[in-house]
Amino acid sequence: MMKHRRLISAFLLAALLSGSFAACSEQGDNADAADGGDSAQLQTGGDGGSVDPAVQEEETERLTAELPEDLDYGGASVVLMQHPYQAGDWSDWNSRDLYAEGYTGEPVNDAVYSRNLAVEERLNVHLDVQEVGDMPGAIQRQVKAGTGDYHISTARIQTLPSTVLEGYLVDLHNMPHMDLTKPWYDQKCIGEASFYGLLYYVTGDMVILDDDSTGAMVFNKQLIGDYSLDMPYDLVAEGTWTLDRMGLMAGVVADDLNGNGEVDLLEDRFGILWQRDAVVSFMHGSEVRLVDKNAEGEPEFVIGSERAVNVFDKLDALLFDPHVVQNIHNYEGKFSDIYETESNVFRANNALFMWIRMRVAENLRDMETDFGIIPVPKFDEEQKTYYSTINKYTAASVCIPNSGGFDLDAAGAVAELMSAEGHYGLREAYYDINLGTKVSRDPESTAMLDLIIENRVYDAGEIYSIGGIADKLYAATQGSSIELTTLLAKNEKMMKTSLEKNFVKKFKALAEAAGGN
């Protein structure tokens, strides 16, 4: 019987909290546990409570998709949309979770191949995976024409707003056979991406590009030891991994190695490497959003709260000293590949921390020095939970074109079974083999992955670019500060108008058309 990865990770986290990995941790006797401790929130539910042994026991049972035994689609083709191959900066964000030609010995590839075979045999279908460069455009053309060209899309989240708000996608609550209560769908996505009872996209275990696109931090173990710093694993477990702690540690390591008094990306040592996308990741990690639902379920801007102002004041103080922190987007045009340059600085032991999307960790597998993977820091020690952000530019979703030209029943059964099967073999390959063994080289990092993946934020304000505020935040990171209060003062009226006109009004119209609110 296959054990679910969460049971393994829960064991590792428990051992980490109890000190069982002290021999692996180079600074095993560092800081004392914080009073009251946030360590209890390091559990599979992510809600701040302790691990329920009964829940852990349930996780040892392999769950199955509850599909009718007699489902048989007579060899019909179900067409899935896959992102086409892209080179250069986008090579990391190609699809690798929908199609495999055969077994190669590579864990993710083999898991995809096995899953697809199982789905085809169980449902008597042919999975036809086709590369589509412009998924939103293809979906819109198909729906307008009423054809059945494509049945399941894995569109990137950033491309979804127009297809969602113009009614080009099926409400997943109405999809045959898709049981959205099952653990192979990200329940945080379902809760936060649903408005007025409608859900048009979901993330989960059918694909791994959403996991690849989740924000996290890597740290250099050699520099941690060289400077006698607290082991970040311990800080996470104690609940003391905060923006302030990251800043203090970064300042200790930063150094003008060539002694010329200037900032040289390729010759000096830095505390933190980041990208402009990380500003939203740090914001969400600090329990702040652009848009959230109020008590009545209505979306509203919350970025003007006192906490948000405090968070951005801290980010302004933390992220804009070039002697300590480097935003790689400031080097656009100076290097042919700024992302590879950033990784090379980290590989050369010239950065203590680097913000990444999880896929980038695999690019570091050839690094001679050991590194670890941890969540983005919290705002302060009073905050109970570590939060992560799915990067909308690279993450894939699962959605269904709202066209009458194909069999929704077959599409729903395939999506459900691919997700259910992916919950085991594909997820096992991604977590415990590909990342745990080949990349991070230590059990602590593998245990951190659940913590990173299970508390992800789906912020409608950022995903739908409501009021353009997210874009303005990205742009501000390439200056000398963000200055949130000034930014909001200039855009307050436009923000409110955009939220009501371009989001709320359109969602309510969709709900009314669907017979809802």
The structural domains of the chain, with segments of one domain joined by +, span 76-211+395-439, 215-389+459-490
Round the CA-based radius of gyration of the chain to a whole number and report it: 23
User: How do residues 455-492 score in pLDDT, each as one tens digit?
Assistant: 999 999 999 999 999 999 999 999 999 999 999 999 99
Residue 152: exposed, middle, or buried by beta-carbon count in 10 A (0-12, 13-18, 19+)?
buried
**Is the confidence at residue 396, as pLDDT, over 90?**
yes
**Is the confidence at residue 17, as pLDDT, over 80?**
no
Give me the long-range contacts of 53-57 (CB less than 8 A, separation at least 24). 56/6, 56/7, 56/10
Taking alpha carbons only, the member of 51, 43, 6 closest to residue 183 is: 6
Taking alpha carbons only, the member of 331, 355, 382 closest to residue 452 is: 355
Q: Which is more confident, 277 or 61?
A: 277
Residue 144 pLDDT level (bands cut at 50, 70, 90): very high
Q: Residues 489-511: what's their mean pLDDT? A: 96
User: How do residues 196-251 score in pLDDT, each as one tens digit?
Assistant: 999 999 999 999 999 999 999 999 999 999 999 999 999 999 999 999 999 999 99
SS3 of 446-510: the string is: HHHHHHHHCCEECCHHHHCCHHHHHHHHHHHCCCCCCCHHHHHHHHHHHHHHHHHHHHHHHHHHH
Within 10 angstroms of residue 312's Cβ, the number of other Cβ atoms is 25
Strands 291-293 and 299-301: antiparallel
pLDDT for 498: 97
pLDDT for 370: 92
Q: Give the whole-number percent of the chain exceeding pLDDT 70.
A: 88
Q: Which is more confident, 439 or 124?
A: 124
pLDDT for 58: 45
**Is the confidence at residue 451, as pLDDT, over 50?**
yes
CA atoms within 13 A on the CB side of 27: 18
**Is the confidence at residue 340, as pLDDT, over 60?**
yes
Within 10 angstroms of residue 252's Cβ, the number of other Cβ atoms is 14
The Cα 351–Cα 355 span in angstroms is 11
**Is the confidence at residue 335, as pLDDT, over 90?**
yes
Out of 34-38, 93-97, 123-127, 500-504, least confident range:
34-38
Cβ contact 177:78 at 8 Å:
no
Residue 115 pLDDT level (bands cut at 50, 70, 90): very high
Out of 107-116, 293-302, 443-452, least confident range:
443-452
Within 10 angstroms of residue 7's Cβ, the number of other Cβ atoms is 17
**Is the confidence at residue 442, as pLDDT, over 90?**
no
Residue 240's Cα: distance from chain center in Å?
Answer: 22
Residue 5 pLDDT level (bands cut at 50, 70, 90): very low
pLDDT for 60: 61
3-class secondary structure, 151: coil
User: How do residues 30-81 score in pLDDT, each as one tens digit?
Assistant: 333 333 333 333 333 333 333 333 333 345 688 999 999 999 999 999 999 9
Contact partners, residue 412, CB within 8 Å, separation at least 6:
175, 176, 177, 178, 400
**Is the confidence at residue 375, as pLDDT, over 60?**
yes
Q: Residues 77-86: what's their mean pLDDT? A: 91
Q: What is the CATH number of domain 76-211+395-439?
A: 3.40.190.10
The Cα 346–Cα 167 span in angstroms is 44
Out of 128-142, 253-267, 440-454, least confident range:
440-454
Average pLDDT taken over every residue of the chain:
88
**Is the confidence at residue 429, as pLDDT, over 70?**
yes
Domains 76-211+395-439 and 215-389+459-490 equal at CATH topology level: yes
**Is the confidence at residue 289, as pLDDT, over 70?**
yes
Q: Does the domain spanning 215-389+459-490 belong to CATH 3.40.190.10?
A: yes
Name beta bridge partners: 355.
217
pLDDT for 90: 77
Phi-psi region of 155 (alpha: psi -120 to 50; beta: other; left: phi over 0): beta
